[in-house]
Amino acid sequence: MSKMRAVDAAVAVLKKEGINNAFGVPGAAINPFYSAMEAGGGIEHHLARHVEGASHMAEGYTRAKPGNIGVCVGTSGPAGTDMITGLYSAIADSIPILCITGQAPRDKLHKEDFQAVDIEKIAEGVTKWSVTVREPALVPRVFQKAFHLMRSSRPGPVLIDLPIDVQLAEIEFDIDSYEPMPVYKPKATKAQIEKALTMLNEAERPLIVSGGGVINADASEKLQEFAEIMGIPVIPTLMGWGTIPDDHPLMAGMVGLQTSHRYGNATMLASDFVFGIGNRWANRHTGSVNVYTKDRKFVHIDIEPTQIGRVFEPDYGIVSDAGVALELLVEQAKDWKSKGILKDRSNWVLECRERKTSTSMLRKTNFDDDKAKIKPQRVYAEMNNAFGKDACYVTTIGLSQIAGAQFLHVYKPRHWINCGQAGPLGWTVPAALGVCVADPERQVVALSGDYDFQFMIEELAVGAQFKLPYIHILVNNSYLGLIRQAQRGFEMDYGKMDYGVQLAFDNIHTEQDSEIHGYGVDHVAVVEGLGCKAIRVSKPGDIAGALNLAQEWMQKYTVPVVVEIILEKVTNIAMGTEIDNITEHEDLAENISDAPTAIAFDKDYLDKEFEDKVS
């Protein structure tokens, strides 16, 4: 045992728990903790420009790699309240991040001291645990418990609030003998797996729905192996996109009201059984329960007991970590296959693949009139061509995210990094920076609409200061596009709304620039003022060259490079009220050669892959 400040013990625990990076903004009430980080060494700090930005950087850091836990740090009062949005986004998607805040001295907590707020109570609803540490000797054990909670069962965030006198107090603590607490994960039993597999094997047209829990469990390879042994198509959720590559013959498309493929919805409607793993039946995936569940049975496997039956009652539910369940499922499926018990579903798989490659199920991307304003569909087609299979896309919400999910391709887990439930505007820039810190070699491509981009644009300076290069695609239509489309979808007594959603204004500094005149903010000027690089494109034929140049600049200057693409102001993106009632606003692809990036993959290729992987 040795004497040390409580904050020194806290930082020592962080290092023992594998923490090497932190994102934050220092202040008077958290300065002792910063002094411990400086003295202890081994934790690299990235200075955010906004404390909410620090929380989203921590999210991006966690989401990028298995086992990561992002740490965000702020002072008392508004720093904690600023990070609430990040905590909400994290808990909504089962993402563990640790938020550390400073606090007024203990004897001032109820005396309306400067920047003293009850952050413990404020954060209760958006964390697995929120605690103000009132005894110095508890500090190292509170941090130990925090990591145990963040990693156990359904992952999620924790907030630790440290009064300044608690931080500075001396305690006895032996860091040399410290060990992280064992992580608890619920495990399916063999009997449960046999029952679920029996039900699945009895179905004629089954699907596997793969959710974000599969990614959290680092079990994507097991998911693919299970699907291949069974010969069953897979529908990834938005949070599970990448658990099976888009070019896999059993990848059947995504389902939903917005971020979906036409062939994915059609396949879901044609199915008779759904086997959900690590998913939560989010409403943008299901639409109404009646339509989604009609004429099909369900098995649901999830790590959180209260998720089973929360949205609708499955025919059978299992509480288990997705990785553990998949290990048992693979083992049992192999045994049954060797005994000839498994059904041959090659006809059902062929039917799903035919939908995936049919031009009647594909949305048009080949808009190439260089005299016209750019349509967003063309942008995503060009992105597929430019960035390839290693691209890691980071995005949040809006028409840009919805269209991105409809047209982009994802091939690896943790290469579609998206805040699925909360969807806070401004999330994309800081989250992308967090991914860059977690994996400096990764090809990070962020995607924003103009309003998302403007929310936390100041965080680009972090990328410039700390040399965090990535490419940011900014699609600019000078509208709150998703809200505008929703408003115009409502018929009212006075017609369709278009109120409070226009971002355009006449910028006197851009009057001579015909590309953006009437679009308002000069994003290129702002980006360059923040120390980054920017390219503007206003013609369809220039997109490919701009994306190539952006990749060159990213390597040359080692800073974020923004490619602003000026879109036509109004383009409606396919979406609807039910998975069987999606409004398609644009023409379909005329043929395969016209829209190679809209078509998931060539049928001959998929047939060959199916023979290699499944037979």
Same domain, 397 and 546: yes
Same domain, 214 and 159: no
* Domain contains 409: yes
* Domain CATH number, residue 351: 3.40.50.1220
**Among residues 177, 199, 229, which one ends one of the domains?**
177
428-451 pLDDT, tens digit each: 999 999 999 999 999 999 999 888
* Domain contains 288: yes
pLDDT value of position 508: 65
Same domain, 342 and 212: yes
Residues involved in catalysis: 25, 51, 425, 480, 483
pLDDT at 128 exceeding the cut of 70: yes
Same domain, 537 and 451: yes
- Write down the H helix ranges in 203-250: 212-216, 220-230
Same domain, 241 and 273: yes
Return the DSSP state at 316.
Answer: E
Comparing 421 with 126, the larger pLDDT belongs to 126
Strands (E), 211-354: 234-236, 273-277, 297-302, 316-319
Tally of structural domains, the chain: 3
Percent share of the chain, pLDDT over 70: 87
* Domain contains 71: yes
Same domain, 371 and 425: yes
Same domain, 350 and 244: yes
Spacing of C-alpha 90 from chain mean position:
10
Nearest by Cα to 244 from 228, 264, 229, 267: 228
* Domain contains 585: no
Same domain, 333 and 217: yes
pLDDT at 599 exceeding the cut of 50: no
**Among residues 121, 150, 177, which one ends one of the domains?**
177
| Largest CA-CA distance found in the chain, in angstroms, rounded | 76
Same domain, 157 and 197: no
Same domain, 76 and 128: yes
pLDDT at 585 exceeding the cut of 90: no
Residue 354's domain spans which residues? 190-360+602-613
268-305 pLDDT, tens digit each: 999 999 999 999 999 889 999 999 999 999 999 999 99
Range with the largest mean pLDDT of 466-475, 505-514, 534-543: 466-475
Same domain, 17 and 131: yes
Same domain, 159 and 10: yes
pLDDT value of position 553: 96
* Domain contains 525: yes
* Domain contains 161: yes
pLDDT value of position 512: 57
* Domain contains 207: yes
**Among residues 116, 151, 177, which one ends one of the domains?**
177
Per DSSP, what are the bridge partners of residue 582? 576
pLDDT at 505 exceeding the cut of 80: no
Task: Give this prediction's pTM.
Answer: 0.91
Mean pLDDT throughout 320-336?
96
C-alpha separations of 188 from 74, 342, 367 in Å: 40, 21, 50
How far, in Å, CA of 325 to CA of 320, rounded?
6
* Domain contains 217: yes
* Domain CATH number, residue 401: 3.40.50.970
Per DSSP, what are the bridge partners of residue 418? 395
The string of DSSP letters for 371-382 reads TSPBPHHHHHHH
pLDDT at 597 exceeding the cut of 60: no
- Asked if 86 contacts 56 with a C-beta cutoff of 8 angstroms, the reply is yes
42-56, 409-423, 515-529, 590-604: least confidently modelled range? 590-604
